[in-house]
Amino acid sequence: MARADKAADVASMAEHFRTSTATVLTEYRGLTVAQLKTLRRTLGETNNYSVVKNTLTKIAAKQAGVEGLDGLLTGPSAIAFIKGDPVVAAKGLRDFAKINPLLVIKGGYMDGKLLSATEIAKLADLESREVLLAKLAGAMKASLSQAAALFQAPLAQAVRTIEALRVKAEADPSVIGGAGVTAPAAKAVPEIEDAPVSAEVEDSAAETEEAAPVSESDEVTEATDAAPEGAAEIAEDGDTTEG
């Protein structure tokens, strides 16, 4: 292979490493060209499955910043550069390997981490992104339906109550007119009783009475009471003079 061709292959693989969501390294020893074409169709058009040279692949991986693949790049190698859902691609490789045991999954690389063959098998057992999204959408739809039912329940109950009142009003108009409905009795206003005179008021009245000045009528009464004594004295004096 000419130097220019090698440089082009390295640049192409480096770009695949950079733009892939995951890569899976396989050994294809013994697989026919027809089987490889079937595998490529299984992986889909968005993914790329290519037979590679180990030396050039190591250089391309280094240029792309992918580390740890050197130990996997031994023997006949082919790489699946996955551009779509890694789970779907892992399932495709696993299913193809079950039918064609000559395809051996050696390992891979995803999210900056080196993956073993066992980890890729576990990845294939996961549900795909589409399935997870469908389940999430179903769960959200169920939650929204439950919320809508909870919101509509009080409204439906109110509508049924209004309808029942309407039917009852048609049968008995007094239900709406208010006939036969006894108004609640007004609360009786408590009678205002004469407030008892407090002890302080009585004491104040007594003090006022004691402090009141003596009236003229009282003075006249005292003078009248004192007059007989004076008259008696004058009478006695008169008797003494006549003698």
- Report residue 173: phi and psi, to 5°: -60, -20
Decide if 87 contacts 95 (C-beta within 8 A). Answer: no
Pairing of strands 22-27, 77-82: antiparallel
Buried b / exposed e along 4-32 (16+ C-beta atoms within 10 A):
eeeeebbeebbebbeebebbbbbbbeebe
**Strand ranges (DSSP E) for the chain?**
22-27, 48-52, 77-82, 104-110, 113-116
In this structure, of 38-42, 53-57, 133-137, the range with the lowest mean pLDDT score is: 133-137
Q: What is the pLDDT of residues 62-94, one digit of tens each?
A: 999 999 999 999 999 999 999 989 999 999 999
Task: Tell me, rounded to whole angstroms, the distance of Cα 180 from its chain centroid.
Answer: 50
Res 153: pLDDT: 63
Report whether pLDDT(227) > 60: no
Question: In angstroms, rounded to a whole number, what is the distance separating the alpha carbons of residues 195 and 206?
Answer: 19
Question: pTM higher than 0.75 for the full model?
Answer: no
